[in-house]
Structure 1
Amino acid sequence: MASPMLPFDDRGFAYGDGVFETVLLRDGEPVLWDYHRARLHRGCEVLGIQTPSDAALEATWQTAEQGEVFPQQEILKIVVTRGSGGRGYALPPTPSPRLLSRRTPFTPNSSRRYEGVRVCICDLRLAHQPRLAGIKHLNRLENVLARREWQRDDIAEGLLADQQDNLVEATSMNLFWQQNGAVWTPPLEQCGVAGTLREALLSRRHITVASLPLRELHRVEQLWVGNSVQGIWPVVALVTPNGQVQKRWPLPTNDVLQAAGHRLLGVASQHVVSLKQNNEKR
């Protein structure tokens, strides 16, 4: 059962010593659950935290009373910390990991899916730390600082590059682009978060990994940002933080990534159905 309280001496609160997942629920069932669970397991393994059992993780979304009606879409946030204790950075001799979760109603920003978005390039450069690359750990200060760089409501996301000026991701989404008819996404071996939508697209071979230097961004045919909660947003303009347009892209109509996205949604829907069937057999 998830704990509703976080003590002051919790290491996740004190040091960011933990991981989290943000999961889209449809009619009470998680979308891309296998990918979220796998990333959480991988993050706990990297940090050396005992991973909660699958039963404990599934209880975060299977605690409904019979006949309970859920909002059509919700966000489930799962947090796993190392727990309390330890002196300074030293680990407690017998850690007791803490699992917390919360569900909130969610309405996706569908206009951004169909009308496209404007993005800017953040000044902040991501540091390389291969041991933490890909996982969704609790220390997101780089993303927080990057998000402070713009205040305009008409800018949906900020693009992040690394110290070598290679594009990596957006502040809360992964990055995709089309070139010569194929769809690509940056490598994340040095930094960045391996999103579950990105992982699903990679596993189905809808996209390919390749580097994108910042200086080459203006040459790509199409650009998208996306995650498992909001889906895929086509980028129609690159702007400065104060809104000055630097580059425009046409709104895609019948392109490769949208087709891949539709196939992915179909797979995700089938996964939700299979979860319901498995639950009914228990």
Structure 2
Amino acid sequence: MPQVPFDDRGLAYGDGIFETVLMRAGKPVLWPYHYARLARGCARLNIPLPSHEQLQEAWQDKPTSELEVLKLILTRGSGGRGYALPDVVAPRLLSRRTPFVVAPERWQQGVSVRICQLRLGYQPLLAGIKHLNRLENVLARQEWQDSAIAEGLLADADGNVIEATSMNVFWQQAGELFTPCLARCGVAGTLRAALLDQGVVRETTLPLNALSNVERLWVGNSVQGIWPVSVLINESGSVLQSWPQATHDPLQTIGHRLLGYLSSPSQAGT
């Protein structure tokens, strides 16, 4: 991987965006959704969008395993005085592919998640995109060290559930499936986008104080798949709610079909 120079604006200011893409047999999964989010991020930050050919170079090498994770980082490049933009923008595109192994036990047994104390700030111009400044998520992830807790839920300043530290949130109420509206903050995941496009879930708000009343709760993303939440822990470390794992999981079934996953541990890499 090329070295990032000291004056790179992504390093200095978080001036850039990134994508984390599941690769299956050398092919990017849900690539149209990743490309669309990358394009939105470039438009919001006014960074030139790389060509399809430039992006495709990131996965031209022979795969080292059936499943890999491709990380693409696009910064504005170097230059400019302080926060002022350089006269000529020369974006810097970095990529890395690493082997990936799924965690099927989390698909089947569910996971424990906790509610984080940190509250997300509002910035509609950055909402939805995957920009390089993830300090809120970094701070939230410092709130627990217990390996038995798989994720942390993040709410906004009004106390509405927005996302998990690295996943989107889904829930069932009155038999319908929902995900939070991300108009003011949060990352709009690519698996979430595909589920919305297919009409599987729809957007609404979920106050923190209503979490214990939902029929089912999930966290998920386009790499790990869909994890049912079995135990919800509040900010003080006490169990707030628990849900038994159902034999049929329609959200996981549809989500994993989109990713090429099956829920059986023996078939998890297929």
TM norm structure 1: 0.89
2:88 counterpart of 1:94: yes
Q: Work out whether residues 42 and 48 of structure 2, in 8 Å CA contact, stay in contact via their aligned partners in 1.
A: yes
1:35 aligns with 33
1:202 aligns with 196
Superposition deviation, residue 258 in structure 1? 2.6
* Structure 1 pair 69–140 and aligned structure 2 pair: CA distance change class (3 A): closer
1:58 aligns with 56
2:225 aligns with 231
Superposition deviation, residue 259 in structure 1? 3.3
Q: Work out whether residues 225 and 256 of structure 2, in 8 Å CA contact, stay in contact via their aligned partners in 1.
A: no
Superposition deviation, residue 260 in structure 1? 2.4
CA separation in 2, counterparts of 1:16 and 1:29? Answer: 28
What is the aligned residue count?
Answer: 262
* Structure 1 pair 262–143 and aligned structure 2 pair: CA distance change class (3 A): closer
CA separation in 2, counterparts of 1:187 and 1:228? Answer: 18
2:99 aligns with 105
1:6 aligns with 4
Where in structure 1 are there 5+ consecutive unaligned residues? 268-282
1:245 aligns with 239
* Structure 1 pair 227–125 and aligned structure 2 pair: CA distance change class (3 A): same
Superposition deviation, residue 70 in structure 1? 2.8
Superposition deviation, residue 111 in structure 1? 1.1
CA separation in 1, counterparts of 2:209 and 2:15? Answer: 36
CA separation in 2, counterparts of 1:38 and 1:88? Answer: 30
Q: 1:152 aligns with which of 143, 146, 156?
A: 146
Where in structure 2 are there 5+ consecutive unaligned residues? 262-270
Q: Identity of paired residues, percent?
A: 62
Superposition deviation, residue 211 in structure 1? 0.5
Superposition deviation, residue 243 in structure 1? 4.9
Q: Which amino acid aligns with 1:151?
A: Q
TM norm structure 2: 0.93
Calculate the aligned-residue CA RMSD, in Å.
1.6
Q: Work out whether residues 224 and 235 of structure 1, in 8 Å CA contact, stay in contact via their aligned partners in 2.
A: yes
Counting only pairs closer than 5 Å after superposition, residues 31-180 of structure 1 correspond to structure 2 as 31-62=29-60, 64=61, 68=62, 70-180=64-174
CA separation in 2, counterparts of 1:158 and 1:203? Answer: 26
Q: Which amino acid aligns with 1:94?
A: V
1:21 aligns with 19
Q: Which amino acid aligns with 2:254?
A: A
Q: Work out whether residues 117 and 235 of structure 2, in 8 Å CA contact, stay in contact via their aligned partners in 1.
A: no
Q: Work out whether residues 181 and 256 of structure 1, in 8 Å CA contact, stay in contact via their aligned partners in 2.
A: no
Superposition deviation, residue 72 in structure 1? 1.0
* Structure 1 pair 189–171 and aligned structure 2 pair: CA distance change class (3 A): same
1:184-242 CA deviation, whole Å, 9 max, x = no partner? 00000000000000001001111111100111000000000000000000000012467
